A and B are shown apart, each in its own frame.
Chain A
Amino acid sequence: MTLDATVTSSHLNDSAGVITLDNLSVTFGGRPILKNLNGDLRGRAIGLLGPNGAGKTTLIHTLLGFHQPSAGTARILGSDIRGDANQIKSLIGYMPERDSFISKMSCIHFVRFMAELSGLPPRAALERAHEALFFVGLGEARYRNVDTFSLGMKQLAKLAQAIVHGPRLIFLDEPTNGLDPPARQRMIKMIREIRDSGQANIVLSSHLLRDVEECCEEILILKDGRLVVYCNLEEERKANKKFLMLETRGDLKSFVAGIGSMGCECAMTSDHRLKIILQDGTKIRDLYKLAAGSQVQIRRLTYKRDSLEDIFLKAMENGIVSEARP
């Protein structure tokens, strides 16, 4: 008797989010690690950010069924982690943060073994193992023992075992840890390729903001076990409308003085370029009025986009503020 993977996944609710957190809490030895997490994560690539000890890895482990939630629950691709653990596990791939291997196995044997454990028949498992290893760039080294691999190769082997069974959701826990710049670039490229294929969703946990910025469309920021930000990265970048950059023509003296009298901060970066930080209550229309009054033409007005670092730092600050509130 064989099962068909398409049948197994057919009754999943496609309208459901990739991951739905429903008051999810996890406690270890009486100490709360994750506190009432709520959210409906739907992005193709979701970045899981947070300082060390924020609960990123614990959240992934809980979603994988390694830890039981102390309260609340979560749903992955529509299935509840409390009741449908096995079904969820057949749809996900996991690349652990630490070195994780089965020793005394060649790389191809290791990846094939993992594919078989995921439910693939031996022949298909071997075929997919070859494909996965070529995909991650270990094709030439696939008959070597994993124990002899360098750190970068081990990371690639871990990625291969995570994708060999073609999961719908892939958890990558610090995938670029310990990689040199070229290896890191290669890893990021592969993650983006998987994302762009549209065949799998990715949850990328990292404390390296650049990795997340390069791979993810949505970010979830944890701090002290609480969810402080969940947003679309592109929209969040545009959301900061206080920092303006102007390109102008005309005499700027009276215009700059006028901006100062409105209570805004202003700096000239060249003869025709200005950076302005708007105060609360100041509108763009007021700037145009002032420019018209000062005989200044505004040729271009752009908002400075927040970097992920800005968003992250803001989230950390806000987190502290909200924690301080009674």
Chain B
Amino acid sequence: MAVLERSYKRYTGALSPEWSRFLIIPRHAFRDVFRSKLFTGFYALSFMAPLVFAILIYLRHNTEALAIMRLNVVNVLPIDATFFLTFVEIQGWIGFFLALLVGPQQVARDLTNNGLPLYLCRPFSRSEYVVGKMSIVILLLSTITWVPGLILFLLQSYLEGWSWFSQNIPIASAIFLGSLVWILLLALLTQTISAWVKWRLAASAGLIGLFFIPSVFAAILNEMLATHWGNLLSLGSLIRNVWAGLFGTFVQQVGQVQQVRRGEIIREAWVTEPPLWASWLVLFLICALCLWLLSRKVKAYEVVK
């Protein structure tokens, strides 16, 4: 089949490896995504925090610079688990907004334009399709979360020495795992909403609602029942607990409640966060639900009964 010959000819050349075909989707999607100047600008801005953190690490080890600027950040800003937890939290929430810009249109577009039969009539399975679509968010968010996080960790290790690196390996794994859990959750949620809500704006609003409306309910529930178990409804609280658990800063007892009558304390109780495993469990259940919902929607054709 040559341009000039204009005749049909079978393809007999080499084929790409089957395992790598899901990566075709993000490769082509990025071309479209980075066409938007707004997105590209926002993506560039998301590297500001890693830059600031890198400067802080550098300053902490540069006594001459500190002396010139008459700063004493050595004691004020320790480079420890909390430092990296803060980094993961900041980048995680920036990642949320990036996912909000990229995610909701991915599956919705294909469903609106009946594109799914075109994918699935090829040697390309439904799971490869879902993984391909998710990897758009996963790859994009990785570049602003755990990749710069680990670079910061290596920078600190380089400046502090081998002993610091060997003592703080769990921080590196917490950066990677904590970011990955968040990215996976965002990727699954955006794709699921995208599959069920075809209108992009509604899908974006749905994603925001999914994060903020349950948090309001959780706050009301906590207030009414004097508990923190309502946090299991809030995705933000769940991921914060998971991050804190991974960085070793999770505290279960968060406050004390006293019931006072006529100036006398008649009941005293500790308000506790739900155990860490409960947060993991709820996140796991949310991911499983997303996968189930995706499997119901990602089909070449829907059979109308």
Chain A residues with a Cβ under 8 A of chain B: 1-6, 8, 28-29, 61, 64-67, 86-87, 89-90, 92-94, 96, 98-105, 109, 113-114, 116-121, 124, 128, 130-132, 134-135, 139, 161, 163, 165-168, 193-194, 197, 199-200
What is the distance, in angstroms, from A311's C-beta to the closest C-beta of chain B?
Answer: 28
Judge if B83 is at the interface, Cβ distance under 8 Å: no
Contact with A along B1-15 (1 / 0, CB 8 A): 111001111111111
Which positions in B face A, CB cutoff 8 Å?
1-3, 6-18, 21, 24, 28, 32, 109-110, 112-115, 117-125, 299-301, 303, 305
* Complex contact B113–A121 (CB within 8 A): no
| A116 to B32 CA separation, bound complex (whole angstroms) | 17
Cβ contact within 8 Å between B9 and A28 = no
Residue in A8, A96, A193 whose beta carbon sits within 8 Å of that of B118 in the complex? A96
Contact call A4/B16, Cβ cutoff below 8 A: no
CB pair B8–A66 under 8 Å, yes or no, is: no
Q: Which of B6, B109, B124, B300 contacts A117 (CB 8 A)?
A: B124
A116-B24, A119-B18, A121-B16 known; A101+B119 contact, CB < 8 A: no
Indicate whether A100 sits within 8 Å of B114 (C-beta atoms), given known contacts A6-B12, A120-B11.
Answer: yes
A163 lies within 8 A of B8 (CB): yes
The binding surface of chain B is classed by DSSP as: loop
Cα A135 to Cα B10 with chains together (Å): 13
Q: Is the pair B303, A200 in contact by a Cβ cutoff of 8 Å?
A: no
Determine whether the beta carbon of B6 is less than 8 Å from that of A134: yes
Chain A residues with CB below 8 A from B6, complex form:
134-135
A193-B9 Cα distance, complex, nearest whole Å:
11
- CA gap between A114 and B8 in the complex, in Å: 17
Min CB–CB distance B287 → chain A (angstroms): 26
A3 B24 Cβ-Cβ under 8 A: no
What A residues does B118 contact at CB under 8 A? 94, 96, 100-102, 114, 117, 161
Tell whether A166 pairs with B10 under 8 Å between CB atoms, given A114-B122, A131-B2. Answer: yes
Residue among A96, A113, A134, A165 making CB contact with B11, cutoff 8 Å? A165
Given contacts A5-B14, A120-B16, A139-B3, contact A94 B114 (CB under 8 A): no
Query: Could you tell me the distance between the alpha carbons of A128 and B3 in the complex, rounded to whole angstroms?
Result: 9
Residue of A2, A86, A100 with most partner-chain B CB within 10 A: A100
User: Which residues of the partner chain B approach A116 to less than 8 Å between Cβ atoms?
Assistant: 16, 21, 24, 28
Known: A4-B12, A102-B113, A165-B122. 6 other contacts (CB 8 A): A29-B303, A102-B109, A117-B24, A165-B11, A166-B1, A167-B10
Q: Which partner residue on chain A sits nearest B120 by CB separation?
A: A66
Q: A163: which B residues are within 8 A, CB to CB?
A: 1, 8
Q: Indicate whether A119 sits within 8 Å of B303 (C-beta atoms), given known contacts A104-B109, A200-B10.
A: no
Chain B nearest CB from A174 CB (Å) reads: 14
Q: List 11 A-B contacts (CB under 8 A).
A: A64-B121, A65-B120, A66-B117, A89-B122, A94-B121, A116-B21, A117-B118, A124-B13, A134-B6, A193-B7, A197-B8
**Contact, CB under 8 Å: B11 / A5:** yes
The answer for the CA separation of A146 and B64 in the assembled complex, in Å, is 61
Bound state CA distance, A1 and B12, in angstroms?
Answer: 16
Residues of chain B with a CB closer than 8 A to A65's CB = 120-121
Complex formed: what's the CA distance from A102 to B116 in Å? Answer: 9
> Bound state CA distance, A172 and B305, in angstroms?
25
For A87, the closest partner residue in chain B by CB is: B123
Q: Tell me if B110 and A102 are in contact (CB < 8 A).
A: yes
Cβ contacts under 8 Å, A109 to chain B: 28
| Interfacial chain A residues near B12, Cβ < 8 Å | 4-6, 166
From B110, B119, B121, B303, give the contact of A92 (CB < 8 A). Answer: B121
Contacts of B122 in A (CB 8 A): 89-90, 114, 117-119, 165
Which residues of chain B have C-beta atoms less than 8 A from A99's C-beta?
113-114
Q: Using Cβ atoms and an 8 Å threshold, which residues of chain A touch B114?
A: 96, 98-101
From B13, B115, B300, name the one whose CB has the most chain A CB atoms within 10 angstroms: B13
Determine how close the nearest CB of chain B comes to the CB of A73; give it in whole angstroms. Answer: 19
Query: Smallest distance from the beta carbon of B108 to chain A beta carbons, Å?
Result: 10
Residues A119 and B10 in contact, CB atoms below 8 Å apart: no
- A199, B16: Cα distance in complex, Å: 22
CB distance from A197 to the nearest CB of B (A): 5
Instruction: Tell me which residues across on chain A come within 8 A of B10, comparing CB atoms.
Output: 166-168, 199-200
Bound complex: CA A93 to CA B24 (Å) = 19
What residue in chain B is nearest A98 (Cβ atoms)? Answer: B114
Taking A121-B16, A200-B8 as contacts, is the C-beta distance between A86 and B123 under 8 angstroms?
Answer: yes
For A60, the closest partner residue in chain B by CB is B121
Nearest CB in chain A: distance from B295 CB, A: 14
